[in-house]
Chains A and B, each alone.
Chain A
Amino acid sequence: MAKKTTDEPETEANLLPIMNIMLLLIPALLLAMEVARMGAISISPPMHAKGGETEKPPRKPAQQLRVFVAEDGFVLSGTDNAGEPLRIALTDDRKDLLDPSRYDYAALEQHAVRLRAAQYEPIVRVDAEGSIPMSALVATLDALRGTGCRMAGLAAGEQPPPECLFWSVVMEPGVGQG
Chain B
Amino acid sequence: MSAESDEAFLARKAAKRQSRRGFVEEKAILGMTSLMDAITIIVVYLLKNYGSDPVVIAPTQGQKVPLSRADTPIQDGVPIYVSQKSITLAEKRVVQMDETGEIDPSALQGHLIGPLYDLLAEEADKAKQMAEGKGEEWEGRVILIGDQNLKFSVLVDVMYTAGRAEFREYAFCVVQQGG
Residues of A within 8 A of B (CB): 15-16, 18-19, 22-23, 25-26, 29-30, 32-34, 36-45, 48, 69, 98, 128-135, 137-139, 141-142, 145, 147, 149-152, 154-155, 171, 173-174
Contacts and interface: CB of A to CB of B under 8 A. Distances in A.
B93 interface: no
B169 A142 contact: no
Given A26-B43, A26-B46, A48-B169, A40 B151 contact: no
Given A19-B35, A26-B39, A173-B156, A39 B46 contact: no
Interface residues of B, number: 50
B174 A130 contact: no
B56 A45 contact: no
Per DSSP, chain B at the interface is: mixed
A43 B170 contact: yes
B69 A142 contact: yes
A98 B66 CA distance: 12
Given A22-B39, A138-B172, A133 B148 contact: yes
B147 A22 contact: no
B10 to A, nearest CB: 33
B143 to A, nearest CB: 7
A154 B72 contact: yes
A29 B50 contact: yes
B66 A45 contact: no
B78 interface: no
B152 A129 contact: yes
